[in-house]
Structure 1
Amino acid sequence: MDTNKLIPLLSEMAIFVNVVESGSFSKTAKKLGLSPSSVSRSITRLENALEEKLLERTTRQMRLSTKGQEVYGLCSDMMYSAKMAVSAAQTNKKEVSGSLRIAAPKALSRQVLMPMILDFIDQYPNVALQLKVADHYIDPIGDEVDVIIHITDKPVEGLIAKTLTECRLIMCASPSYLASHGTPAHPNDIANHNCLCLGENPRDRVWGFTQGTQKVSVNAKGSFAVNHSEIRREAVLRGVGISVFPEFAIQPYLDSGQVLEVLKDWHVGGNYQGKVTAQYAQSKFIPEQIKAFVDYLQERFAQTNH
């Protein structure tokens, strides 16, 4: 196929990649600002030009044909090369500018990152920053995000990982609750207390503790469960029971004495602890806005930790 015939198909190939990755014509249409019928026509034009059936469709599902899988891989590489071309053009600009899409967990965004992000916007007014707040895993490629920030001890392989700070889990209760119900001296004592859990799945009610080589698991029972740290924190402040929080969510209240840490000598297991890590795609051409943002966060967290 000569170049004159190939060029008009580049947009159809891009649409094809989006359809495969979203798994839906309607989702692709919404994302690209097109009508579903327009997306469908683009796929048909591509199939006609290549003289191959790429997608096998029924009213309920869609899947790649054998040839479609091969074409998708090559078209996906084309899209990646296009992104790298844009990155190369944006690299080494004296002025930090351009779009920047960030994804981060809800509680971390609300309680820690937002002041830093707003200050970054003030410092770099030519950067158009979009924040995607979600606790589920975000694919930086498929979800078109430039930087993911998450709390983990296992960074995503294949991505550059920059550690910002560390976060541990802290078990705590209000002084009034402990005065009324006693202070646990051992993890097994937790079974006799009103434990406020996340409630996202049954495993949230099994609290694990370690101290050196000792390991203890306790079935936590309580009158209230909620997967929102600020609401759960309010319940603890009112003396409802004992709960576990990421350090960033509870530290100011520990400092003020509104809550007291329980079982300090034991390590509490669970999600939302580990290294707070910023990750982004590897490339020879990292856009200046990504480098500036990650460097800015590292500097701010370094100031906070001292």
Structure 2
Amino acid sequence: MDRLLSMTVFAKAVELGSFSAAADVFRMSPQLVGKHVLTLEQHLGIRLLNRTTRRQHLTEIGASYYEKVKVILAEVAAAEGLAAESHARPSGRLRVNAPLTFGIHALMPRLTEYMATYPDVQVEVSLTNRYVDAIEEGADVVFRVGELADSSRIARRLAPYRLILCASPAYLASHPPIISPMDLASHECLGFAYTELRSHWSFDGPDGPVTVPVTGRLMIDSGEALLMAARASMGVMLQPAELLEADIAAGRLVRVLPKYRAPDRPLHLLYAPDRQMTPKLRSFIEFSVAVFGSGKD
């Protein structure tokens, strides 16, 4: 006999207090219920139930066995529910956290595709450059730019974040020429707060990698605000390509040191290892890897 079925029948007989009541639930005869219980007893070599013509009650070992069986059946039900859920249509509220510039210029233009594909998912997006443990604060997934310091999260590597060095034509016309990265030390460099970009910029050039200490009177924690400052000829900026390409194409900004490439910054998608892999979470992870990959995990 199927041992799991026998356990299920045994547990139901205990809970309902009789073989006949359990038989009604499973649409089988009371004799077959008794056979399932007997099969378990023979397999275990113990008596689980003391039975008379009027009543039944658990033996001491039978009571302990019943408690274990309840746990096993609950785990089986949970596993089957998880398998069924994995095939279910993604639905419910999905909370996403991302840096401002990436969120506005990369995520938001593509998010409509995800929401059109999964109309039963409601997406709540939080955009901030302040470093917080967004998952602890309730986010399901987090986009993170830069090196990861927290190894307690599951990280999916995405395509790196490309940075561009630029300034306005007016700024470049009124300041000494920038021929090499070291010339930046004597310029107003618009610093990005809370990251390494506030104090030093690195490049790969014809002669290899070089890191330059940078200073400036203006430091902001928003790429969009830095863009306004660069347009106003307040200094040189090093920010993501998504933020700058339109201004460069329109001539409002000019690339500086085009032969020197700023190292790409890592981009990851994070989620908690204990977070249940619901259909909505799985679908968004797969979407993000497809759209913003690949970073070669």
User: Displacement, 1:220?
Assistant: 2.0
Verify the 8 A CA contact 1:107 1:229 in the aligned structure 2. Answer: yes
1:139 aligns with 2:127: no
Determine the structure 2 residue equivalent to 1:292: 283
User: Displacement, 1:203?
Assistant: 7.6
Cα distance in structure 1, aligned partners of 2:195 and 2:291 = 34
Corresponding letter in the other structure for 1:217: V
Determine the structure 2 residue equivalent to 1:282: 273
TM-score scaled by structure 1?
0.59
Determine the structure 2 residue equivalent to 1:102: 96
1:245 aligns with 2:239: yes
SS of aligned partner of 2:170: helix
Deviates most, 104-113 or 138-147: 138-147
Corresponding letter in the other structure for 2:192: L
CA 1:146–1:214 in structure 2 vs 1: closer, same or farther (change >3 Å)?
closer
Determine the structure 2 residue equivalent to 1:218: 213
Structure 1 or 2, whichever has the larger Rg, is: 2
TM-score scaled by structure 2?
0.61
Corresponding letter in the other structure for 1:99: R
Determine the structure 1 residue equivalent to 2:156: 162
Verify the 8 A CA contact 2:155 2:268 in the aligned structure 1. Answer: yes
**Mapping of 1:1-306 within 5 angstroms?**
88=82, 91-139=85-133, 141-154=135-148, 156-200=150-194, 204-209=198-203, 211=205, 213-222=208-217, 224-268=218-262, 274-282=265-273, 286-301=277-292
CA RMSD of the aligned region, Å? Answer: 3.4
Segments of 4+ moved more than 4 angstroms: 199-203, 208-214
Verify the 8 A CA contact 1:160 1:282 in the aligned structure 2. Answer: yes
Where in structure 1 are there 5+ consecutive unaligned residues?
1-80
Cα distance in structure 1, aligned partners of 2:285 and 2:198 = 32
Determine the structure 2 residue equivalent to 1:3: none
SS of aligned partner of 1:115: helix
Cα distance in structure 2, aligned partners of 1:145 and 1:230 = 24
SS of aligned partner of 1:197: strand
Cα distance in structure 1, aligned partners of 2:293 and 2:209 = 33
User: Displacement, 1:147?
Assistant: 0.9
> Between the two proteins, what is the percent identity of the paired residues?
25
Cα distance in structure 2, aligned partners of 1:136 and 1:225 = 14
User: Displacement, 1:92?
Assistant: 1.9
User: Displacement, 1:185?
Assistant: 0.7
Where in structure 2 are there 5+ consecutive unaligned residues?
1-74
SS of aligned partner of 2:174: helix
